[in-house]
Amino acid sequence: MKPFEYIAPRSLEETTALLARAGTDATILAGGTDLLVEMRRPNKMRKRVVVDISRVSELGGMITSDRSVVIRPLMTHARLQHSELLRIAAPLLASASAAIGSPQIRNRGTIGGNIMNAATCADTVPPLIALGATVTLRSAAGTREMPLSSLFLRPYQTIAAPDELLTEIRFPGLTADARSAFIKLGRRNALSISRLSVAAILRIGRDSRIAEARIVPGAAFPTWQRVTAAEALLLGERPSARLFAAAGACVSKEMILQTGRRWSTEYKEPVIAVLVRRALEQCAAPALPEDGK
């Protein structure tokens, strides 16, 4: 690795002041599972300063406030995977965290890094968007909060300024009558990059009809979004294999409308439809195991 200046601030205030001074010269280090790989890549544009935020205690932990779950960016995938709170309030996020990398990667990698790195294959993002998450960015000048879905510009790029730091991820916990699923398709189980994934949430009313549906595919669109056309197909209907297959076909059609046909379309077109159907089936049959694979 090429030399750089290393600073490990101890407080949020110190961190934002450092970032304000360093501007585009600085890069933020948390778990390091992406950054250390990037920094060793030849011909990569390098930053002069590495700001290690892993010792800023205000950026760690997870709490519930009102009915919202607040996750701080230094939470590791391993801690989210085993969180009792998420098992109830957002099981699809626990499943997605469990599907990332390997035990070694999950012990270091953080949810904040997964979001801010903004790779199209980031596994925590589809569940968070399905959950309606908002994020808070903070700089020395102040804070701003926005829906997670509007944080991303394009793959590997967010609207965060160089001196802005992600400080909080917040979403309303799922109600007891909601069911959720996260399915990831990779070339193998461990250490695989998502080829495609689907996060889904269904709420079925007392009349056995679908009262709420949210579907967010991963690695399918340039940035993440709910597929409202497919969700609309489900509302007011009774769950059935045929209905879920139709929703899958609709997601597939929307994907091609937005991305056009490319080399991978022949594969992704039928496969995303099947993943959506399976995710919805998992939601409708909560007895099925939900392990994210």
Partner 1 sequence: MTKIPITTTVNGTVHTLEIAPHQTLLELLREGLGLTGTKCGCEIGECGACTVLLDGEPVNSCLVLAPQIDGRNVSTVEGLMRANATDPLQDAFMDHDAVHCGFCTPGMLMSARALLAEDAHPDEASIRTAISGNLCRCTGYVQIIEAIKHVKP
Find the binder of partner 1 among 20, 68, 87, 107 (CB under 8 A).
107
Q: Which stretch binds partner 1 (CB under 8 A): 18-26, 29-37, 130-138, 281-289?
A: 29-37
Nearer to partner 1, 4 or 221 (CB): 4
Find the binder of partner 1 among 4, 12, 140, 265 (CB under 8 A).
4
Please, are residues 28 and 175 in contact by the beta-carbon 8 Å criterion? no
Binding residues for partner 1 restricted to 228-247, rule: CB under 8 A: none
Residue 223 binds to partner 1 (criterion: CB under 8 A):
no
Nearer to partner 1, 191 or 288 (CB): 191
Find the binder of partner 1 among 10, 40, 44, 238 (CB under 8 A).
40
Binding residues for partner 1 restricted to 130-189, rule: CB under 8 A: 189
Residue 1 binds to partner 1 (criterion: CB under 8 A):
yes
Residue 221 binds to partner 1 (criterion: CB under 8 A):
no
Please, are residues 99 and 292 in contact by the beta-carbon 8 Å criterion? yes
Residue 87 binds to partner 1 (criterion: CB under 8 A):
no
CB of 128 to partner 1, least distance (A): 23
Residue 117 binds to partner 1 (criterion: CB under 8 A):
no
Find the binder of partner 1 among 22, 78, 130, 131 (CB under 8 A).
78
Instruction: Report how many residues bind partner 1 under the rule CB under 8 A.
Output: 28
Amino acid type, 219: A
Q: Which stretch binds partner 1 (CB under 8 A): 2-10, 114-122, 142-150, 268-276?
A: 2-10
Find the binder of partner 1 among 14, 52, 237, 269 (CB under 8 A).
52
Q: Which stretch binds partner 1 (CB under 8 A): 31-39, 152-160, 233-241, 260-268?
A: 31-39
Nearer to partner 1, 40 or 154 (CB): 40
Q: Say how far apart CA 101 and CA 33 lie, in whole Å.
A: 10
| 241-259 helix and 265-284 helix, angle to the nearest 10 degrees | 140
Binding residues for partner 1, per CB under 8 A? Answer: 1-6, 8, 29, 31-33, 36-37, 40, 50, 52, 54, 78, 101-105, 107-108, 189-191
